[in-house]
Every structure is written in structure tokens, then in C-alpha cells.
């Protein structure tokens, strides 16, 4: 029984991992914190919805549009509101992304109203038996897709020239610039990849929790996951997300069910107070 | 074009008189909005002390507002206290104590971590107010009894005007003085550079917790006034969006400025009431202005005023340093 709950938790956790991953990538390369990560997912979800529901495109094509839109959204955000504030303190950029999240939420509310909409799933709804546990198709699809995306991203950052250049930028902007890497282009690319991840998250999560303007709030779970795993650590983001997902699904069995909503916040505060470096984070020492 | 000293004083006195007599000639609704201006100005000043002056992002000030409001409601119902002169300081001090307690774990944290912890704090407070229904009446909300001061019942917005405005004005003057003292200078130094201010002998732990405690005190008192003005409070008046509205107030008004806090509170509350039928447009304006101000004018409207004054200097530039 508990094993079953844990498997469901892993599926939820994969979504949080994706959110945390998007946040961490941007943080690692630009040291900016993107509060609008969840709203990027919400917007691209709604764009896909417009294509298949209102314009009548086939679902697969619409989901492709969703991914393209999420990349475009990342690029637009970077170019329009982040780059002009590149030299501003991180504090200011945080407020800017907060503003962006409010803008996207209100635009979505204006265009698509505050209702909830069903969203088609790519995965079959039948249940599979895997040894001791039974997994429904949607959860399995979420886990497999997330795993696949992780492998792709890993090989991109490990093997491809662009990926290696991006890792260089995240270590030192100046040194990367001196090696002939375009730092600006790498920043834009980071935002594009982060956007793409949010698009994938939208496709995976929207069929489960319905499409609504409130979907962007999943970014809070993303923050909790990234901090639990260790802020700034990519493996940490993945592990943190999955642990958070399991915690959220297991907690209602031991505590009153109303605690479920508070879990991400409790995790946030608990980790930051007890061990701010999280599971896998490293302590950063700053030179004065 | 500067008026002689005497004339300026006269104008100020007339303006103050007109303001304090406004319940006589303005509509009930206008007075209610004026009261809200004052309440949110207090919140914005409180938030500015911790965020604008000391540089610690707080995304959970609605939590402090809620604590102040619920303490006021509970004291005047369950404890049977009447006098706002007793209730408001207790509400403020209790909230300040919570702010102090929240300030301690935050000492270990930096920048955006602080934003996350305060955000969580705000959400948890609203959730507690929702779940602990034996004390807070949960989702149904809480009817707040009228404030009574020596037989005088504050049972209308016009009467509450004479409770809310004096409290706000007095606390604004105090805040103006706080930011000019040793403590205020320490706050600003911490914002500029924690390491540099530590090297200069500023006790970071002391001043950061003090900033949170004072900020929470201001917001707690504002919460008490809010409870009186609204007469009915429920957990959804203190959601995460409210905390973010407060941030928008001080970003638009001007961070690190008392005058800016008041301007921001008035502008945003004004927009909220003019566009109360169109919440999406309201949010859109707030969001866009957050972005635009942060990119082009990080010091907000009060910074614009200051810049404008410096471009066209008057005879006495020293009078500018006050705001």
C-alpha cells in the first residue's frame, strides 16, 4: 500500500523536479531567480489549449506548438525584461520576474478566464502492473518523459559544444568571454531551455490538475524542491523534487489531510532553518 | 516662485484643517477609501523599513497584517477589551514579537531565501487562520466589534477617520525619525553591504531582527485598524497576492523612502478602488509597473520627485534630505 503511494509520489515529484530544474538552470548561469517559471508553463499550456480546442488542430501538433511557445516565452522574457536589468542587483531582477508572473496571470485571466479546463493526455489511462505495484499510464508517462528529458539534457551539457560552453559561462562569465564564448547568447539559450522544460512540465501536469490560471503556483513547489535538494545543484533539483512529491503523498496517511497544502512551505522553512544547503547543495563562499 | 515661510505654514494649516474636517463634506465611501489609504500607508512604511531600508525581501507581510487584525478581533470579543488605545498597542507588540521571532532564523539566510521563508510564513499564517476555527471562526470570518473609547463608539467610517488618521500620522512621524537615527543609518548600511557594515561594527543580528520587529509592529497596528475599518475579516483577506500588492506599493512608491511608502499605498489602493470591477486589468497594471519601475526607475515615484527637485533646485536644497 505504502509502496503504491510512493510511486504516485514519484510521478508528482517529477513535475516538481522539472520546475526546480528550470529554476536551477537559470540560477546557475545568470544567478537570477525566476519567479515566473510556473506562469511560463501555464501560458504555454493555454496556448496549446487554444490550438486544439478553439482552432481545432490535432492534439499532437498543438502540444508541439506548446513546446515552441514555451521556448519563445523564455526568449522573450530574457530579451524584453531580464537583459535590460542585467547589471541591476539580483534583488531587482527577482522583483521583475515577480512582476512578469503577475502580468502573465492577469493576461491569461483576461484571455482565457479563470475557469478550469480539461487538457488531453498523451498517455493511455489503463493501469500497468509492475511487480508489487500498479501504476496508471499517466503516472508512468510522466516518470518516463521526465527521465528521458533528464538524459537528453545531461548528454547535451556533457557532450555538445554549446552545452560545455554554457557550463563554462556558469562558472565564470569573464573567463568564458575571454575564451570567445558569447555570454549573452548563452544566457538567452539558458532561458530558452528553461522555457522548454516549463513547456514539458505543462504538458505533463495539465491533464492531471486541469488547466487554470492557478497552475503557475506550482513554482512554489519547484522552489521548495530546489531548496530541499540544495539550491543551485542540478542533481539536487531532481532528487529534491522527487522527495517532495513522495512527502506530499505520504503525509496525508499520517497527519490530517489538510497538512498536504502546507507541506511545501513546511519543507521550505524547515530546510532553510536546519540545513540551508539542502541534500546536495554546497556551501558557497564569497570573496569580499 | 517659493512662497515666504509664513505663507507656507498658513497653506499647510489650512490643508490640515480641510483634511481633518473632510468627514463633514466628503461621502462615506470617500472617507472609507481615505482610511484604507492610511492603513496601507502604515503597512507600506513597515514593509519599507525591512525591504527598502534594510534590503531584506519580505513576501509575507499579509501574515503580519492578519496577526494584527485577528489579535484585535479576539481581544475585543473574547477578552472583552474595548479601548483601541489598549488593543492597538497590544496587537502591534504581539505582531512585533512574532516579527522578532521570524527575524532570528532569517539571520542565517541571504537574499532570495529570505523571500521564500517570509512567503511561506504568510501562507502558513493564512492557513492557520483558516484551520484554527475555534479561535478565528475559520472560513466564515470574524465580525469585529466596534472600538469604544471612553463612551465614544467608532461606529462609522467618519468616526473611525479620527482614530485611523491620527495613529497613522503619529506613526509616520516616528518612522521618519527612526530612519534618521543611528538605527536607520545601520539599516541603510546593511542594505548597501552586509560585510562592510559588519566591519564597521554594526551588529547585524541586532539590527536585522530589530528591522523585522519594528516592521511587524507597524503592520500589526495597521492590521488592527484594518479590522476596525473592514468590520469583518476572513482568511482570504490575507492571501499571498496581498503580500505581493504590498511589495508593488513600495516598489512603485519608492524603496527606502517614507514619502514613497505613502505615495505607493495611495496610488495602488486608488487603482484598486477605481478598477474594482476589473481585477485582471488591475493586476496587469501592477505587474507591468513592477517591471517598468524596476528596470527604468528602481527608486520609484519618490525617487523621480527627488530627481526632479534636484534638477530644478530651490534656494534651500537641505530641505530635500527629509524624505
A98 neighbourhood in chain B, CB within 8 Å: 244, 247, 290
CA distance B141 to chain A (A): 19
Domains of chain A (ranges; CATH) run 2-274 (1.10.3470)
User: What chain B residue is nearest to A94 in terms of C-alpha separation?
Assistant: B112
How confident is the model over B117-147, as pLDDT tens digits?
Answer: 899 899 889 888 888 877 888 777 888 888 8
Query: Between A100, A223, A266, which is nearest B291 by CB?
Result: A100
Query: Which residues in chain B have their CB less than 8 angstroms from residue A276's CB?
Result: 108-109, 113
- Residues from chain B that touch A23, judged by Cβ atoms under 8 A, are none
Half-sphere exposure of B15 (CA within 13 A, CB side): 6
Residue entry with cell 524603496? B255
pLDDT in tens, B231-287: 888 888 898 889 999 999 999 999 889 999 999 999 999 998 888 888 889 889 999
For A237, residues 6+ apart whose C-beta sits below 8 A from its C-beta are A17, A20, A21, A23, A24, A225, A226, A229
pLDDT at B2: 55
Q: Cα dihedral sign for A241, A245, A246, A252?
A: positive
pTM of the model: 0.87
Average pLDDT over residues B296-303: 89
CA angle B268, B270, B276 (to 5 degrees): 100
- Which residues on A lie below 8 Å from B286 (Cβ)? 99, 102
Distance CA A159, CA A153 (A): 10
Separation between Cα atoms, residue B28 and residue A210, nearest integer Å: 43
Neighbours of A271 (CB within 10 A): 23
Show residues of chain B in contact with A273, CB under 8 Å: 105, 108, 117
pLDDT, residue A69, reads: 93
Each residue's pLDDT tens digit, A231-262: 888 888 999 999 999 998 888 888 877 777 78
B35 pLDDT more than 70: yes
Percent of chain B with pLDDT over 90: 37
Residue B322 confidence (pLDDT) = 45
- The label of the residue with cell 517570509 reads B118
Query: Tens of pLDDT along B189-199?
Result: 988 888 888 88
Which of A55, A49, A23 lies closest to A206 in space, CA to CA?
A: A49
pLDDT along chain A (288 residues), means of 10: 83 91 89 90 92 85 92 93 86 90 92 86 78 81 90 90 87 86 89 93 88 87 91 88 91 78 86 82 64
Which chain B residue shows the shortest CA-CA distance from A224? B116
A168-177, B17-26, B45-54, B156-165: the lowest-pLDDT one: B17-26
Q: Cell digits for B151?
A: 463612551
Please say if the pLDDT value at position B314 is more than 70.
Answer: no
* E strand or H helix at B149: strand B147-149
User: Average pLDDT in the B165-187 region?
Assistant: 91
Q: Is A288 on the interface with B (CB under 8 A)?
A: yes
pLDDT digits (tens, 9 = 90+) for B65-94: 999 999 999 888 877 777 888 889 999 999
Q: Looking at this predicted complex, what is its ipTM?
A: 0.85
Q: Do A258 and B131 touch (CB under 8 A)?
A: yes
Residues of A with Cβ-Cβ distance to B283 under 8 angstroms: 102-103, 105-106, 109
Q: Which of B116 and B108 is assigned the larger pLDDT?
A: B116
Chain B nearest-CA residue for A213: B280
- A55 alpha-carbon distance from chain centroid: 28
Locate B112 and state its grid cell: 532570495
Query: Per the CB < 8 Å rule, is A231 touching B113?
Result: yes
CB contact under 8 A, A88 and B105: no
A127 in B contact zone (CB under 8 Å): no
Neighbours of A154 (CB within 10 A): 13
Are B68 and B95 in contact, with CB atoms under 8 Å apart? yes
Distance CA B320, CA B323 (A): 6
Q: How close is the nearest chain A Cα to the Cα of B29, in Å?
A: 27
Question: How many angstroms separate the CA of residue A23 from the nearest CA in chain B?
Answer: 13
Q: What is the mean pLDDT of residues B306-314?
A: 82
A111 touches chain B (CB under 8 A): no
Q: Is A99 on the interface with B (CB under 8 A)?
A: yes
Q: What's the pLDDT at B323?
A: 45
Amino acid at each position: 500500500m505504502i509502496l503504491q503511494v510512493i510511486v504516485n509520489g514519484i510521478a508528482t515529484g517529477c513535475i516538481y523536479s522539472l520546475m526546480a530544474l528550470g529554476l536551477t538552470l537559470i540560477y546557475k548561469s545568470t544567478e537570477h531567480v525566476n519567479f515566473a517559471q510556473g506562469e511560463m508553463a501555464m501560458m504555454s499550456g493555454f496556448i496549446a489549449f487554444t490550438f486544439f480546442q478553439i482552432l481545432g488542430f490535432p492534439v499532437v501538433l498543438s502540444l508541439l506548438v506548446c513546446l515552441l511557445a514555451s521556448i519563445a516565452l523564455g526568449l522573450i522574457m530574457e530579451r524584453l525584461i531580464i537583459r535590460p536589468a542585467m547589471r541591476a542587483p539580483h534583488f531587482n531582477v527577482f522583483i521583475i520576474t515577480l512582476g512578469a508572473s503577475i502580468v502573465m496571470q492577469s493576461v491569461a485571466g483576461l484571455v482565457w478566464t479563470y475557469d478550469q479546463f480539461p487538457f488531453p493526455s498523451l498517455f493511455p489511462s489503463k493501469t500497468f502492473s509492475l511487480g508489487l505495484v500498479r501504476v496508471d499510464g499517466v503516472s508512468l508517462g510522466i516518470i518516463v518523459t521526465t527521465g528521458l528529458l533528464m538524459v537528453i539534457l545531461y548528454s547535451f551539457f556533457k557532450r555538445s559544444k554549446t552545452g560545455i560552453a554554457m557550463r563554462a559561462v556558469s562558472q565564470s562569465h569573464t573567463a568564458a568571454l575571454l575564451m570567445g564564448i558569447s555570454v549573452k547568447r548563452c544566457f538567452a539559450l539558458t532561458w530558452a531551455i528553461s522555457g522548454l522544460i516549463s513547456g514539458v512540465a505543462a504538458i505533463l501536469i495539465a491533464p492531471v490538475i486541469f488547466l487554470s490560471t492557478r497552475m503557475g503556483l506550482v513554482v512554489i513547489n519547484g522552489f521548495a524542491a530546489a531548496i530541499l535538494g540544495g539550491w543551485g545543484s542540478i542533481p539536487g533539483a531532481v532528487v529534491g523534487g522527487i522527495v517532495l512529491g513522495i512527502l506530499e503523498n505520504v503525509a496525508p496517511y499520517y497527519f490530517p489531510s489538510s497538512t498536504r497544502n502546507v507541506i511545501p512551505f513546511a519543507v521550505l522553512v524547515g530546510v532553510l532553518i536546519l540545513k540551508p544547503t539542502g541534500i546536495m547543495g554546497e556551501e558557497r563562499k564569497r570573496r569580499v | 516662485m517659493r512662497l515666504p515661510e509664513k505663507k507656507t505654514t498658513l497653506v499647510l494649516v489650512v490643508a490640515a484643517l480641510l483634511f481633518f474636517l473632510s468627514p463633514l463634506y466628503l461621502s462615506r465611501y470617500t472617507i472609507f477609501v481615505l482610511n484604507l489609504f492610511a492603513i496601507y500607508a502604515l503597512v507600506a512604511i513597515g514593509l519599507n523599513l525591512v525591504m527598502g531600508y534594510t534590503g531584506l525581501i519580505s513576501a509575507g507581510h499579509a501574515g503580519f497584517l492578519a496577526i494584527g487584525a485577528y489579535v484585535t478581533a479576539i481581544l475585543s470579543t473574547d477578552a472583552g477589551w474595548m479601548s483601541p488605545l489598549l488593543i492597538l498597542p497590544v496587537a502591534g507588540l504581539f505582531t512585533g514579537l512574532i516579527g522578532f521571532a521570524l527575524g532570528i532564523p532569517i539571520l542565517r539566510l541571504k537574499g532570495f531565501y529570505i523571500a521564500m521563508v517570509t512567503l511561506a510564513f504568510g501562507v502558513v499564517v493564512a492557513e492557520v487562520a483558516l484551520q484554527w476555527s475555534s479561535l478565528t471562526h475559520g472560513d466564515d470570518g470574524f465580525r469585529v466589534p466596534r472600538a469604544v473609547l471612553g463612551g465614544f463608539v467608532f461606529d462609522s467610517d467618519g468616526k473611525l477617520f479620527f482614530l485611523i488618521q491620527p495613529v497613522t500620522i503619529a506613526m509616520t512621524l516616528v518612522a521618519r525619525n527612526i530612519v534618521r537615527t543611528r538605527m536607520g543609518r545601520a539599516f541603510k548600511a546593511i542594505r548597501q553591504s552586509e560585510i562592510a557594515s559588519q566591519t564597521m561594527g554594526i551588529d547585524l543580528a541586532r539590527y536585522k531582527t530589530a528591522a523585522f520587529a519594528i516592521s511587524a509592529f507597524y503592520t500589526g497596528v495597521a492590521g488592527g485598524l484594518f479590522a476596525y475599518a473592514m468590520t469583518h475579516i476572513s482568511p482570504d483577506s490575507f492571501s499571498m497576492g496581498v503580500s505581493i500588492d504590498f511589495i508593488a506599493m513600495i516598489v512603485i512608491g519608492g524603496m527606502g523612502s517614507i514619502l514613497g511608502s505613502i505615495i505607493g499605498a495611495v496610488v495602488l489602493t486608488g487603482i484598486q478602488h477605481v478598477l474594482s470591477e476589473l481585477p485582471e486589468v488591475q493586476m496587469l497594471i501592477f505587474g507591468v509597473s513592477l517591471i517598468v519601475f524596476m528596470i527604468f526607475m528602481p527608486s520609484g515615484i519618490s525617487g523621480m520627485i527627488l530627481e526632479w527637485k534636484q534638477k530644478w533646485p530651490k534656494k534651500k536644497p537641505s530641505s530635500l534630505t527629509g524624505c
